[in-house]
Structure 1
Amino acid sequence: MDTPVELIVGLGNPGPDYHRTRHNAGADLVFELARQAGTSLSPDKKFFGEAARIALGNRTVHLLYPTTFMNRSGKAIAAMAQFYKIAPEAILVAHDELDLEPGVARLKIGGGHGGHNGLRDTISALGNNKNFGRIRIGIGHPGHASQVTGHVLKRAGTDEQTLIDAAIDRAIDVLPLIAKGEWNKAMHQLHTK
C-alpha cells in the first residue's frame, strides 16, 4: 500500500480507571505522538473524542482518541473520516494486541478484527471496509481466554510497561514514512529492529 496516512487513531477506554491500562496502549501511542510533536489532544464533540493536528514529516496528519469506550470506537473514527473525507486506506489505527509479546510492535494493512472490539466496531462503522492500517502494540496473552478481560483492563507491571513504551516509541519512529505512504519501508524498519 502506498496511500499516505491522514488520520492516526489511538484506541482505548476513557476515564481515570482505564488510564495506562494494557487496553489503552493505542491511546498511549497517540498521546505520546502528540507530545513529541509539541501539542496535545483537545475534546471535540463532533468527533466523539479528543483530536489534534500535527506535522508528520512534511504532511499534516489528524490524531484522534475516541472517548466512546472501546466497543464504540468506530463512531468517532467514521465521524472524522466523513468530515475530512478521509478514505479508510488513509487511516491508521493503533491498538493493543494480545498475540504479540510486550516490547513488540507490528504494522499491518487490512484483515479482520481478531476478536478486538475496537477493531470490530471500526470495520462496521467504515461500511465493513477492512482496508485501514493498524499498529499492533504487544501486551502479551495471559494464557487462557477466561483471563483476557482482566488482563487487558489492568495496568502492566513496571518492567512490562517499559517494554510497551519502548515498542510505542519504535512505532512512532516509522510514522513519518507512513505519512508519506512508504508502508513497506516503515514495516521493514519496524519489524527488523
Structure 2
Amino acid sequence: MRGNLWTRLAPFISKRHFSTSQTSLSSSFSSCSAIQPWLFVGLGNPGEKYECTRHNVGFDMIDMFAQSQGISLTRHHFKALFGEGMVEGVPVLLAKPQTYMNLSGESVGPLAAYYKLPLNRVLVAFDDTDLPCGVLRLQPKGGYGRHNGVKSVIYHFRKNREFGRLRIGIGRPPGQMDPKAFVLEKFNKTGRERIDSAIEEGVEILKLVVTKGLTEAAKSSNVDQKYKHLTTHDLQLCQQSSASTPWTEWT
C-alpha cells in the first residue's frame, strides 16, 4: 500500500509512533536524528457545492500552498486528497480529507499514525468564527471550540490536543443568523478578496513553520496578524453574504 511514496520518504521518516503522552511526544521529537516530515491538513467539505464557502478555507489554504510549492494533490490516500514534496529540504505531506467536515479525524488520525509522526509535526488549517475575517492565528495546541472538524481530529488522536493549528478568521454571523448557515455560505467580493490575501500570507507562514518550527513561526506571524481589520466597518464587510439563501445542513 505504501508503494513509491513510502520509498521516497523512508529515509526522512522517524520510526517512532505518535504518543498520547506529551512527555513521549517531546522525547520522540528530540531524539530523532533524521528529518521528520510535516503533515499539513486543510479541513473542508468535498464537492462543487461547497467550493469557496467559509467552511472550506482550510482546503483553500492547502491548495494554495501546494500550488506555490509545485505539489500535486491528486492522489487518494487514507480518505484524503494527498500530495507530498520537499520544502527547503524538508519533506512535507499535504492532505484534504474527503470525509466531510465532521468526520475529518477518520482521515487525519490514520495518516499521522501511518507515517509514525509525533503530533507536534502535524498542523491543521481550518475556519474560525472567533477571529475577524482574514486574520490568521498560528498555535501549537488548543481545543476545538465549536468546530466539529477539529473535534473529530482530536478524537482520532486519542483526545490528544498537542498538534498545530492555523486558524483562519471568517468573522462572526451578522445579527441573529444561524452560525451553521453562515459557514456554508460563500463570501461576498470584499470578503473573498480579504480571505485570498490572508491565504497568501498563510502560505508564507507555513513555509516559516517548515524552516523555523511552529513556535518560532507563531511568535513572528501572530504579532503581524494581531492588529489587522479592527474597525467595525471592516468586520462587517466579511459578514455580509453574497447569497440570499443559506444551506440548511451543517457538516
Q: TM-score interval w.r.t. the shorter chain?
A: over 0.9
Task: Give the match for residue 59 of structure 2.
Answer: 27
Which structure has the larger Rg over C-alpha atoms?
A: 2
Quick check: 19-28 or 166-175, which moved more? 166-175
Task: Give the match for residue 99 of structure 1.
Answer: 130
- 1:149 corresponds to which letter in structure 2? K
Quick check: 141-150 or 9-18, which moved more? 141-150
**1:98 Cα deviation (Å)?**
0.2
- 1:32 corresponds to which letter in structure 2? M
- 1:87 corresponds to which letter in structure 2? P
Secondary structure of the equivalent of 1:60? strand
Of 17, 27, 30, the residue aligned with 2:49 is 17
Size of the alignment, in residue pairs? 192
Which residues of 2 match residues 38-187 of structure 1 at below 5 A? 38-44=70-76, 46-143=77-174, 147-187=178-218
In structure 2, relative to structure 1, the CA distance for the partners of 1:98 and 1:145 (3 Å cut) is farther
CA distance in 1, matches of 2:142, 2:99: 23
**Sequence identity of aligned pairs in percent?**
35
Q: Contact between 1:5 and 1:181, CA under 8 Å: does it hold in 2? A: no
Task: Give the match for residue 32 of structure 2.
Answer: none
Structure 1: gaps spanning 5 or more residues: none
Q: Contact between 2:37 and 2:90, CA under 8 Å: does it hold in 1? A: no
Q: Contact between 1:109 and 1:132, CA under 8 Å: does it hold in 2? A: yes
CA distance in 2, matches of 1:71, 1:115: 11
Structure 2: gaps spanning 5 or more residues: 1-24, 30-35, 225-251
Secondary structure of the equivalent of 2:48? coil
Compute the TM-score of the two structures, normalised by the length of structure 2: 0.72
Deviations 1:125-184 (A, max 9, x none): 010010000000000001467510111001101110111111111121022221245223
Secondary structure of the equivalent of 2:178? helix
Higher relative contact order (CA 8 A, sep 6+): 1
Quick check: 68-77 or 164-173, which moved more? 164-173
Secondary structure of the equivalent of 1:154? coil
In structure 2, relative to structure 1, the CA distance for the partners of 1:144 and 1:124 (3 Å cut) is farther
Compute the TM-score of the two structures, normalised by the length of structure 1: 0.92
Q: Contact between 2:57 and 2:126, CA under 8 Å: does it hold in 1? A: yes
CA distance in 2, matches of 1:32, 1:180: 18
In structure 2, relative to structure 1, the CA distance for the partners of 1:5 and 1:97 (3 Å cut) is farther
CA distance in 1, matches of 2:45, 2:176: 20
The answer to whether the aligner puts 1:189 opposite 2:237 as a matched pair is: no
CA distance in 2, matches of 1:34, 1:7: 12
**1:94 Cα deviation (Å)?**
0.1
RMSD: 1.9
Secondary structure of the equivalent of 1:36? helix
